[in-house]
C-alpha cells in the first residue's frame, strides 16, 4: 500500500469523502445512537453504545497519525449541506501491503440514499487502486444482503468464501442474523477486474440501484424482520 502524504479528501458533484475531525464526533455518535442503528447491529443500552461509538471515533482519528498509514476510515458528507451521511473506508492493517478491507455504512436518516452509497463506494475503491496502489480489495457482507451482492458484482468482485453458524465471528452475529440464519460472505475485488468492469465508473452511478437497509418502521422487532427480508 502506498501511503499518500495528503489526507484522504475525495469529491464528486454531490458528495465529499474526507478524514474525520474532532468537530464531527457529535454527528457520528448521534447516528450510531439511533434506535434503528442499534437494532440493526444488535448493540445494547445507550451508555455502552455511546462509549463504544466514542472509542471507535477516537480510533479513526488515531489512524490518521499512523506512519505509514494503513487504515482510512473517512466521513461521507453532503456537499451542499455539509451533513454527515455515514462513513466508508479501507483498512490494511495486518494484511499484505497490496490489500485492504472495504466497508461502508450510512446513518439511518440516510438509508435509501442510493447514489450516496454508490458514489462513496466508487470513490473509495478507486482511491484504493489508483492512489494506494492496491492489488486487491476485500469485503464482508451478510448473505441476505442482495443489494450489496449486486453492488459487489457490478464492481467485478468475486465471492471467495461463505461462512455459516459458528464460523461467523462474534462481531458479525446479532439477533437478526441468528434468526435469519444469515451467513457471512467474503468477497474479493482485483484491480484488473475493477478496471475492466468499471472503465468509467465515476459517470455510471445512475445505472445501479442500491439501498442500505431502508427500514421505515419503528420497533426493533419490525426492523429486525425487515433486515431478514430486505438486506
- The predicted model gives 108-123 an average pLDDT of 86
Range scoring the smallest mean pLDDT among 40-44, 68-72, 117-121, 146-150: 146-150
d(CA 108, CA 154) in angstroms, rounded, equals 24
Predicted confidence (pLDDT) at residue 223 exceeds the cutoff of 50: no
- The predicted model gives 198-203 an average pLDDT of 48
Whether the pTM exceeds 0.95: the reply is no
Q: Which residue has the higher pLDDT, 210 or 82?
A: 82
Under CATH, to which class is 9-209+217-230 assigned? Answer: alpha beta
- What 24-33 contacts at long range (C-beta under 8 Å, 24+ apart), as own/partner pairs, is 24/57, 24/75, 24/84, 25/54, 25/57, 27/83, 27/84, 28/53, 28/57, 28/75, 28/84, 28/87, 29/53, 29/54, 29/57, 31/84, 31/86, 31/107, 31/108, 31/109, 32/56
Predicted confidence (pLDDT) at residue 206 exceeds the cutoff of 60: no
- State the pLDDT at residue 224: 35
Which residues in 100-112 are b (16+ Cβ under 10 Å) and which e?
Answer: bbbbbbbbbbbbb
Amino acid at each position: 500500500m502506498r501511503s499518500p502524504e495528503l489526507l484522504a479528501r475525495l469529491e464528486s458533484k454531490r458528495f465529499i469523502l474526507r478524514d474525520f475531525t474532532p468537530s464531527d464526533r457529535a454527528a457520528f455518535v448521534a447516528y450510531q445512537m439511533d434506535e434503528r442503528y442499534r437494532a440493526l447491529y444488535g448493540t445494547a443500552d445507550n451508555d455502552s453504545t455511546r462509549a463504544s461509538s466514542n472509542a471507535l471515533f477516537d480510533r479513526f482519528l488515531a489512524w490518521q497519525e499512523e506512519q505509514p498509514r494503513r487504515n482510512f476510515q473517512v466521513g461521507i458528507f453532503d456537499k451542499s449541506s455539509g451533513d454527515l451521511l455515514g462513513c466508508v473506508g479501507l483498512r490494511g492493517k495486518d494484511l499484505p501491503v497490496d490489500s485492504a478491507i472495504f466497508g461502508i455504512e450510512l446513518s439511518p436518516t440516510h438509508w435509501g440514499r442510493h447514489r450516496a452509497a454508490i458514489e462513496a463506494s466508487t470513490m473509495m475503491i478507486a482511491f484504493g487502486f489508483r492512489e494506494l496502489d492496491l492489488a486487491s480489495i476485500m469485503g464482508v457482507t451478510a448473505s441476505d444482503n442482495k443489494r450489496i451482492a449486486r453492488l459487489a458484482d457490478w464492481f467485478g468482485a468475486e465471492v471467495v468464501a461463505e461462512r455459516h453458524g459458528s464460523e461467523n465471528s462474534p462481531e458479525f452475529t446479532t439477533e437478526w442474523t441468528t434468526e435469519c440464519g444469515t451467513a457471512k460472505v467474503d468477497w474479493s475485488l482485483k484491480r484488473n477486474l475493477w478496471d475492466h468492469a468499471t472503465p468509467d465508473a465515476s459517470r455510471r452511478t445512475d445505472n445501479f440501484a442500491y439501498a442500505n437497509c431502508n427500514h421505515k418502521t419503528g420497533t426493533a422487532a419490525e426492523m429486525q424482520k425487515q433486515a431478514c427480508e430486505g438486506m
